[in-house]
Amino acid sequence: MVLGAGGVLGSAWMIGAMRAVETETGRDLGSSDLVVGTSAGSVVAALLSLGVGIDVMANSERGLYEVGDPVLDYRDLGASLPPRPRMRMGSPRLLTASALHPRHASPMVTLAAILPQGRGKISAVGDLVSAAMDRQGLDLAEWPAPPILRVVAMNFDTGHRVLFGSPDAPRVTLPEAVMASCAIPGWYAPIESGGQRFVDGGTRSPTSVDLLADAGLEEVLVLAPACSLASDRPRGAVAMVERQVRRAATRRLLREVELVEAAGTRVTVLSPGPEDLAVMGGNLMDLTRRAEVFETSLRTTRAALRASARSRPRPRPARAADAAVATGARATSADRAVAAAATTATSRARTGTRGGAGVEGGAGTGEGAGPPKGRLGLDLAG
């Protein structure tokens, strides 16, 4: 299972969507063999791997807590707008690398290098993960398993993606990895470890699902709150800019999905639909919208899954086209997802893993250790 970037509201949307998947299908997403998290997705992935159930996270979104439960209170991260940054370039070395290798540098990576250095503190996220580890009796140096957990960040000086938790990645604690994955350039200060600086993995990719292309997977479920297969028509300037960025992220996601599918892996994508986007607005860090985003996601994802189940063809062909599902929209394969986003069809996904990936430089990935090839058995069609 792959959990993508998306800020505070992306986290709320993701928890709502995951809760809908569990209630509609009866499946336990916490029993996935592999969970890969980026930015906001890394927080959810870490908590899930530490035994915090989706039901507990859902209750937290509603302000309901049991004694000992982790509290997803993002108010400690500061206001919904970034603090005044330092008046110095974020990463001159990354800008130089982008200039020398323009084909490997996306506009987001170049922008991250140019933006002033952020002053915000992301320690509240690390504290949340640390508290969940303490609850499980884990030392900070340990990584939970199962499921196998991978956390995506970006090296702020080279622009390479790093898959923390894999054998080839730098050794950091889980709280450090999650903080690095969430450190938005220009907003939060980079996380330093071992003489290297790391920032938000969403700078390179909204999900980094392509890192699994050579992992020998059978099926992958992707939740991509920063992407949309069917968009709305916002009027506000901020929301209009956000939708432009979202469209670029969606194109990146679909290219990555094609790479994974080409390797013989079935991929299902869940992403916000028009109704979700209308509630999200243009600032994914707007804490005031969090509860409404969660409830909307819970409702729209449940409706999409039920509609998908009703329209599922029987019998299913042995080698059917892979699915890409948006909340309230469905596409029959990645390369036709945008064009077919207004239609509803079937959706089916399972997760399994064999191996993993390490540090990505350019297009390459490293091979890591993992369990035998298997399936979780997640049937989104019910």
* 145/157: higher pLDDT: 157
- Of 11, 32, 33, 39, the catalytic one is 39
Domain ranges of the chain: 2-84+120-310
Confidence class of residue 373 from pLDDT cuts 50, 70 and 90?
Answer: very low
pLDDT recorded at residue 100: 82
Strand pairing class (219-223; 266-271): parallel
pLDDT for residue 95 is more than 80: yes
Buried b (16+ CB within 10 A) or exposed e, 214-234: bbbbbbbbbbbbbbbbbbbeb
Strand pairing class (329-331; 2-3): unpaired
pLDDT for residue 344 is more than 50: no
How far is it, in rounded angstroms, from Cα 22 to Cα 38? 21
pLDDT for residue 323 is more than 50: no
pLDDT for residue 225 is more than 90: yes
CATH 3.40.1090 assigned to domain 2-84+120-310? The reply is: yes
pLDDT for residue 357 is more than 80: no
pLDDT recorded at residue 9: 96
Confidence class of residue 79 from pLDDT cuts 50, 70 and 90?
Answer: low
C-alpha of 319 from chain center? 27
Q: Is 200 a catalytic residue?
A: yes
The percentage of the chain sitting over the pLDDT mark of 90, rounded to a whole number, equals 55
pLDDT for residue 117 is more than 90: no
- Of 11, 33, 60, 200, the catalytic one is 200
Radius of gyration of the chain (CA): 19
How far is it, in rounded angstroms, from Cα 15 to Cα 375? 22
Look at residue 100 and give its three-state secondary structure: helix
Q: Is 39 a catalytic residue?
A: yes
pLDDT recorded at residue 166: 93
Residue 253, classified by CB atoms within 10 Å of its CB into exposed (0-12), middle (13-18) or buried (19+), is buried
Q: E strands, the chain, where? A: 2-3, 34-38, 148-155, 161-164, 191-193, 196-200, 219-223, 266-271, 324-326, 329-331, 359-360
pLDDT recorded at residue 171: 93
pLDDT recorded at residue 78: 66
Candidate from 73-87, 237-251, 307-321 with smallest mean pLDDT:
307-321
Candidate from 45-49, 85-89, 104-108, 194-198 with smallest mean pLDDT:
104-108
- Average of per-residue pLDDT values in the chain: 81
